[in-house]
Structure 1
Amino acid sequence: MTTLTAVRRPAAQRASLGRRFLARHVAWVPVFAALGILLVMIIGAVAYFPNFQLPRILSSILLDNAYLLVLAVGMTFVILTGGIDLSVGAVMAFTGILCARLLGDGVPVGVAVPSMILIGAAIGLLIGLLVQYFDVQPFIASLVGMFLARGLAFVVSLESIKVEDGGLLWLQSTRFSFAGWYITPTGIIALLSVAIAAIVLRYTRFGRTIYAVGGNEQSARLMGLAVVRTKLIAYVISGVCAGLAGIILTAYSGAGYPLNGMGTELDTIAAVVIGGTLLTGGSGFVLGSMIGVFVYGLIKTIISFLGAEQSWTRITVGALLLVFVVVQRLIVRRSARRS
């Protein structure tokens, strides 16, 4: 009897430790869920497809979705504050085609690229000002930014503009290979943006304020935190990422096009939510958003291997999004009960 009790006690202790860990790190549950889905998909694809070369496929996913990963980084900041930014796809298209036009007119790449990032920041600042000083809902304010950027893209050109500048094309054409893996400068930029964002959110006062504002804006004001400035900077960061994504997409495709990025804002939001960021704000991680982008990219890859129509990508992502929204609601309810 004593021996049986001694065996049961460590098991009970381990279960108790597991419950305490989940209670203290409940925000990580959706991230671990997304990571689990990614691993299951990888294992299933490797087992089902004989020619599924994991290093090459994952490298290809980063190559094809580098612009989406950069957009997801900026969107994570905005959603963490409890906002939304529907303009990112249009801003990406505008900065991309404007960059192609400027390069075609002989503007040096060292001038054109920073200018696109500044333009993205300016549109993000405009949206932030509408939200903070004119009390416009983030959905409507970012919709204004989306129409503005898309219209400006058509003003630049109604047709695609091919890029001939070797400096910009180098970002996509150069590959660094090692042990079956490869990466391009665009992929490096995307991963650096994730690393910088993760450090900012984890280790800086601004990052902690982002979480506080998204968790409870009124409490953040009462604590004397710079709520207005923080939300403005969050939208500026989203605009900067959209401008940078426009450059990456233009380098990837070799041309700027005013219809680029149609619906990309929804793909970005889906990747961020699948990665575990709460749409209500205050909880989430940029590393989770990166996992969400890889889940999205792997779904497209597997569907291509199956030879099915790409419409199944939308269906699958929609189903995953539904699951993660339900998980988010359960987390919010559990947090409300504990408080």
Structure 2
Amino acid sequence: MTTTTQTEAGRPTLGARYATFMSRHSSLMPTFAAIVILIVLLVGAQLAFGNFITPRNLSALLLNNAYLLILAVGLTFVILTGGIDLSVGSVMAFTGILCAKLLAEGLPAIVAIPLMLLGGAAIGLLIGVLVHYFDVQPFIASLAGLFLARGLAFVVSLSSIRVEDPAVLWLQRTRLTVGDWYLTPTGILALLIVAIGVFITQWTRFGRTIYAIGGNEQSARLMGLPVARTKILVYVISGVCGGLAGLVLTAYSGAGYPLNGVGTELDAIAAVVIGGTLLTGGSGYVIGSMIGVLVYGVIKTVIAFMGAEQSWTRIIIGGLLLVFIVVQRFIVTRSDRRR
């Protein structure tokens, strides 16, 4: 006599295999959902406009969202530990205007760029120290970093500073073309950051420690894992990514501006969550965050094709965010029951 989960030969049915796979890989569900949404958006846009899925549009998708992708990678590290970083948009503005100011004063790019990255790392270090050693909630600590970075941006300059350095402008103006496809150095940099993020989180001890802290920080500490160093370092990484995003945005716009990045931290957090990273930490993937950024970029492009107000982008992303938070809640509840 057979059971409902096995065939007469004793082998699991397709349904049983699917149930087993999903029970073991439930953390992949939100990322799979984001991939499905991305495909539906692309197909729907192609059917609606007829010329949406073209090499030019898809190449521009990476070009226009390279800075957001870099921010999302840094935020993924932080959110995987159960933290949050609200300062990334302001750090991007501060490092961008700092770079523009240093270049305008005659400093070579080879010196200005490391200094802007150090500025982002310093703010990330400050937030990490507040979170771990002073037990300040990540929301409050990163909010302080947000105000600090934005204030420093206005200290550097109250107005836009044009960038004329050929090395920085080369990052955006250079086109590596293959047929109708093209790629810029800023896009290559964003993809390189994604690749490094995937490698660190999936194949290094540091990455395993990040997941362990997000899963249960107390257990990670009892296992002898370097909790303090890891928690501080993820905020430093987020700060460095903010600096790199500042460089990319400065190259993209050709100028530094102290009001750049207002609200961008929320876009980056939304992309990370849509990509499947749990806000409670311990589950998520860098590649999922990239999918989340692409979903955001496609929605923004579709709104532009329709000629509608860009405020609809916020509305649609907000709706998707609510859906994914519900999915995340379901995953957490299911995991708790299995324990």
Q: TM-score range by the shorter chain?
A: over 0.9
- Report what 1:235 is aligned to: 235
Report the Cα offset of residue 180 of structure 1. Answer: 2.2
Over 3 Å counting, the alpha-carbon distance change for 1:114 and 1:11 in structure 2 is same
- Secondary structure of residue in 2 paired with 1:143: helix
Which letter does structure 2 place at the counterpart of 1:171?
L
Q: Give the whole-Å Cα distance in 2 for the aligned partners of 1:8 and 1:37.
A: 38
Q: Give the whole-Å Cα distance in 2 for the aligned partners of 1:73 and 1:10.
A: 45
- Secondary structure of residue in 1 paired with 2:13: helix
Deviation per CA, 1:12-59, whole angstroms, max 9, x where unpaired? Answer: 611101111111111111000000000011111111112224322121
Worse-superposed segment, 288-297 or 42-51: 42-51
Residue 49 (str. 1) matches residue 49 (str. 2): yes
Which letter does structure 2 place at the counterpart of 1:294?
L
TM-score normalised by L of structure 1: 0.97
Over 3 Å counting, the alpha-carbon distance change for 1:254 and 1:9 in structure 2 is farther
Mapping for residues 136-175 of structure 1, pairs under 5 Å: 136-175=136-175
Q: Report if the CA contact (8 A) 2:211-2:283 is conserved.
A: yes
Worse-superposed segment, 12-21 or 62-71: 12-21
Which letter does structure 2 place at the counterpart of 1:315?
I
Mapping for residues 111-190 of structure 1, pairs under 5 Å: 111-190=111-190
Q: Give the whole-Å Cα distance in 1 for the aligned partners of 2:8 and 2:56.
A: 47
Q: Give the whole-Å Cα distance in 2 for the aligned partners of 1:79 and 1:64.
A: 24
- Secondary structure of residue in 1 paired with 2:182: strand
- Report what 2:87 is aligned to: 87
Q: CA RMSD for the aligned pairs?
A: 1.8
Q: Give the whole-Å Cα distance in 2 for the aligned partners of 1:54 and 1:28.
A: 29
Q: Report if the CA contact (8 A) 2:217-2:227 is conserved.
A: yes
- Report what 1:297 is aligned to: 297
- Secondary structure of residue in 1 paired with 2:177: strand
- Secondary structure of residue in 2 paired with 1:182: strand
Sequence identity percentage: 70
Q: Report if the CA contact (8 A) 2:100-2:255 is conserved.
A: yes
Q: Report if the CA contact (8 A) 1:275-1:292 is conserved.
A: yes
Q: Report if the CA contact (8 A) 1:55-1:180 is conserved.
A: yes
Report the Cα offset of residue 10 of structure 1. Answer: 9.5
Report the Cα offset of residue 201 of structure 1. Answer: 0.5
Over 3 Å counting, the alpha-carbon distance change for 1:12 and 1:141 in structure 2 is same
- Report what 1:253 is aligned to: 253
Q: Give the whole-Å Cα distance in 2 for the aligned partners of 1:53 and 1:80.
A: 33
Mapping for residues 62-77 of structure 1, pairs under 5 Å: 62-77=62-77
Which letter does structure 1 place at the counterpart of 2:129?
L
Residue 244 (str. 1) matches residue 244 (str. 2): yes
- Secondary structure of residue in 2 paired with 1:158: coil
Q: Give the whole-Å Cα distance in 2 for the aligned partners of 1:170 and 1:20.
A: 50
Report the Cα offset of residue 61 of structure 1. Answer: 1.1
Q: Give the whole-Å Cα distance in 2 for the aligned partners of 1:265 and 1:156.
A: 21
Which letter does structure 2 place at the counterpart of 1:82?
G
Q: Give the whole-Å Cα distance in 1 for the aligned partners of 2:197 and 2:297.
A: 21
TM-score normalised by L of structure 2: 0.97
- Report what 2:193 is aligned to: 193
- Report what 1:102 is aligned to: 102
Report the Cα offset of residue 7 of structure 1. Answer: 8.4
Over 3 Å counting, the alpha-carbon distance change for 1:7 and 1:213 in structure 2 is closer
Which letter does structure 1 place at the counterpart of 2:291?
I
Q: Give the whole-Å Cα distance in 2 for the aligned partners of 1:338 and 1:180.
A: 50
Which letter does structure 2 place at the counterpart of 1:310?
Q
Q: Report if the CA contact (8 A) 1:46-1:54 is conserved.
A: no
Which letter does structure 2 place at the counterpart of 1:306?
M
Q: Give the whole-Å Cα distance in 1 for the aligned partners of 2:216 and 2:114.
A: 35
Aligned pairs, number:
337
- Report what 1:327 is aligned to: 327
Report the Cα offset of residue 9 of structure 1. Answer: 7.7
Q: Give the whole-Å Cα distance in 1 for the aligned partners of 2:298 and 2:85.
A: 25
- Secondary structure of residue in 2 paired with 1:153: helix
Which letter does structure 1 place at the counterpart of 2:66?
A
Which letter does structure 2 place at the counterpart of 1:239?
G
Q: Give the whole-Å Cα distance in 2 for the aligned partners of 1:204 and 1:11.
A: 36
- Secondary structure of residue in 2 paired with 1:84: coil
Over 3 Å counting, the alpha-carbon distance change for 1:303 and 1:8 in structure 2 is farther
Q: Report if the CA contact (8 A) 2:42-2:53 is conserved.
A: no
Q: Give the whole-Å Cα distance in 2 for the aligned partners of 1:151 and 1:284.
A: 33
Over 3 Å counting, the alpha-carbon distance change for 1:257 and 1:224 in structure 2 is same
- Report what 1:222 is aligned to: 222
Structure 2: stretches of 5+ with no match in the other structure: none
Q: Give the whole-Å Cα distance in 2 for the aligned partners of 1:119 and 1:92.
A: 10
Q: Give the whole-Å Cα distance in 2 for the aligned partners of 1:311 and 1:10.
A: 56
Q: Give the whole-Å Cα distance in 2 for the aligned partners of 1:8 and 1:270.
A: 47
Q: Give the whole-Å Cα distance in 2 for the aligned partners of 1:186 and 1:10.
A: 54
Structure 1: stretches of 5+ with no match in the other structure: none
Q: Give the whole-Å Cα distance in 2 for the aligned partners of 1:54 and 1:78.
A: 35
